[in-house]
């Protein structure tokens, strides 16, 4: 019951409260670059996509922590979720600085990610960890693409994305070391399709 209540509390805070970062944002102290209206709109849209990714990360880790019976794994997942909270706060701060708003579909993204995390964890802990590995790898690839697309003058957003990429790659490595099972090609392909739908939609909505 405590775990269930904690998951509900996390969902409400993720979707409706201003997240608090435990680690200062990599953008802290950086001056806002001079951006054209078009560049500012692009940067805001990319940070909205990244914010959606962090909403999904909260849902994923929360569901997996709720479903597992392994206390050590639960502690690992909750620690990863706490680190992802920093990303949630950093991306929200960047959206505000760029005049962008969060995706109005965040409750939908959260619900979908929570369901996927729950199902994966119920299959087995190794599958659950495999889902983490594949998710973090795909997120890292998206972030690399954003580093190539973000305006050069937006040093603050670029610093946030670069740090997030490092953290996601570390989370993937940790899950791999914990015994993650490699997901079959079909599952990985479906995850890529779902991610494409999410990023394309979140870019505008």
Least confident range of 3-17, 104-118, 125-139: 3-17
CA atoms within 13 A on the CB side of 153: 11
pLDDT of residue 13: 65
CB 130 within 8 A of CB 181: yes
132-141 pLDDT, tens digit each: 899 899 999 9
Residues 65-113 have pLDDT tens digits of 888 888 888 888 888 888 889 999 999 999 999 999 999 999 999 998 8
User: CB under 8 Å to 136, separation ≥6 — which residues?
Assistant: 168, 169, 171, 172, 175
Q: Which residue has the higher pLDDT, 17 or 119?
A: 119
pLDDT given at position 20: 81
Domains of the chain (ranges, CATH numbers): 38-202 (1.20.1260.10)
What's the whole-model pTM score? 0.89
pLDDT value of position 71: 87
């Amino acid at each position: 019951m405590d775990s269930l209540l904690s998951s509900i509390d996390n969902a409400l805070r993720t979707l409706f409260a201003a997240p608090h970062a435990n680690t200062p944002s990599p953008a802290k102290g950086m001056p806002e670059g001079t951006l054209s209206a078009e560049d500012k709109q692009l940067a805001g849209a990319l940070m909205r996509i990244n914010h959606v990714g962090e909403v999904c990360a909260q849902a994923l880790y929360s569901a997996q922590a709720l479903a597992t019976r392994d206390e050590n794994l639960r502690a690992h997942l909750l620690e990863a979720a706490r680190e992802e909270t920093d990303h949630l706060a950093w991306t929200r701060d960047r959206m505000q600085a760029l005049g962008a708003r969060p995706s109005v579909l965040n409750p939908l993204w959260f619900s979908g990610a929570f369901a996927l995390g729950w199902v994966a964890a119920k299959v087995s802990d190794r599958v659950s960890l495999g889902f983490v590995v594949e998710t973090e790898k795909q997120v890292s690839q998206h972030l690399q693409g954003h580093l190539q697309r973000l305006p050069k003058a937006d040093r603050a957003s670029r610093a946030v994305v670069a740090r997030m990429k490092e953290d996601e790659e570390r989370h993937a490595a940790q899950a791999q070391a914990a015994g993650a099972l490699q997901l079959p090609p079909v599952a990985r392909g479906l995850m890529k399709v779902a991610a494409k739908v999410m990023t394309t939609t979140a870019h505008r909505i």
